[in-house]
Amino acid sequence: MTIFAVETSCDETSAAVIRDGKVFSSTVSSQIKLHAEYGGVVPELAAREHLRNLIPVAQAALREADVKPDQLDAIAATQGPGLAIALLVGFKAAQAMAFALRKPFIGINHHEAHLYSPWIGKFEQFQPNISLIASGGHTMLVFVESELKYRVLGGTIDDAAGECFDKTGKMMGLAYPAGPIIDKLATEGNSRAYKFPRPLLFEKNDDFSFSGLKTSVRYFIRDHPEVLQDRRALADLCASVQQAIVDVLGFKTFRAAERLGVKCMTVSGGVACNSRLQQYFNTDPWFGWKVRFADKKFCTDNAAMIGILAERKLRVNVPLPSFDEEIKPGWVLA
């Protein structure tokens, strides 16, 4: 089975070709530089870039995989959640392609695709797991009992983890996206230099909240503006903020795994690239837990994970949507 997949949920235009569980090509055109001057993604600009980039990106994916359109067995695209105007570009283009080629079409939930991204190329090793999905748009814990069977344990009630990285970084005067910059500066700093709250850390739920941490950083910078003028102090600030976020993500994931008796955890989404988060999960191997991170190239938005999930759904004959199906910008993983 050969699947062509498209992803345009936010600011990356991506296309991929999947065949029998393997990624034959995965092309991504990022818009980071375009949105950097605005300090965040501008939906209208993102949609225009998707329109400009989608055909070249799609052609590159097909060319790299050495596959012609008439050799495809099905077409898939991100249906939601995401920015409506951005989703629309990729979803409707993929629908049109499927209609023209008379091939099956399937819309995929972006969050659900993240659940299985750590298993790309390794599905034969799949086991029940607690999945942490953390990025700029979402943070959630999911119990994946088996392939295509999962239960959401909790999610963010305000800011996502990646959003907290970017917004606190903006307060520090760092460029967008600030997450990778904070990660780099934090390697030079002391994570215990400044004390920041760990919201909901000991609450008896699996939800996340980072707005309080963001506010705390704002007040700290207001009261200690000199910190931003000293590289060492700035590095300490980055390390302290990063540690607060990582402590919450890591502790709540481990606690959920222990509570449910699950010995495997997976981490995906853009924040999975954070070096401190990776260190946290790989610090205590004596507990007998296994931790699997998605490959870096599959952490951020990409069409490969969309195609992989589409293929696995098609193999178990999930009901296919009609060609009248619309995007679902607020599609909640349930």
Bridge-based pairing state of the strands 264-268 and 149-155: unpaired
Q: Please give the pLDDT value at position 38.
A: 87
Q: What is the pLDDT of residue 284?
A: 60
What percent of the chain is modeled with pLDDT above 70?
Answer: 99
User: Which own/partner pairs from 39-42 qualify as long-range (CB within 8 Å, at least 24 positions apart)?
Assistant: 39/170, 39/176, 40/166, 40/176, 41/10, 41/11, 41/83
Neighbours of 117 (CB within 10 A): 27
Distances (CA, A) of 256 to 56, 163, 288, 307: 43, 23, 15, 29
Which pLDDT value is given to residue 60? Answer: 98
318 vs 261, more confident = 261
pLDDT in tens, 70-119: 999 999 999 999 999 999 999 999 999 999 999 999 999 999 999 999 99
Q: Is residue 304 scored above 70 in pLDDT?
A: yes
CB contact set of 274 (below 8 Å; sequence gap of 6+): 165, 179, 183, 242, 246
**Residue 85: other Cβ atoms inside 10 A:** 17
* CATH class of the 126-293 domain in this structure: alpha beta
Helix (H, G, I), strand (E, B) or coil at 244: helix
Distance (Å, whole) CA 200 – CA 176 = 27
pLDDT tens digits, residue range 257-297? 999 999 999 999 999 999 999 999 987 655 678 999 999 99
Answer whether 2-115+298-315 and 126-293 agree in fold. yes
What pLDDT shows up at residue 39? 86
Q: Tell me, what's the pLDDT at 285?
A: 55
Mean residue pLDDT across the chain: 94
- The tens digit of pLDDT for each residue in 126-178 reads 999 999 999 988 899 999 999 999 999 999 999 999 999 999 999 999 999 99
Q: Where are the domains of the chain?
A: 2-115+298-315, 126-293
pLDDT of residue 317: 86
Q: Give the pLDDT confidence score for residue 295 in this predicted structure.
A: 95
pTM here is 0.94
Question: How does DSSP assign 268-314, residue by residue?
Answer: ESGGGG-HHHHHHHTS-GGG--EEEEPPGGGTSS-HHHHHHHHHHHH
Fold that domain 2-115+298-315 belongs to in CATH: Nucleotidyltransferase; domain 5 (3.30.420)
Residue 150: predicted pLDDT: 96
Q: What is the pLDDT of residue 320?
A: 84
List, for residues 15-34, the tens digit of each pLDDT value: 999 999 999 999 999 998 88
The confidence score (pLDDT) of residue 287 equals 67
Mean pLDDT value of segment 294-321 = 93
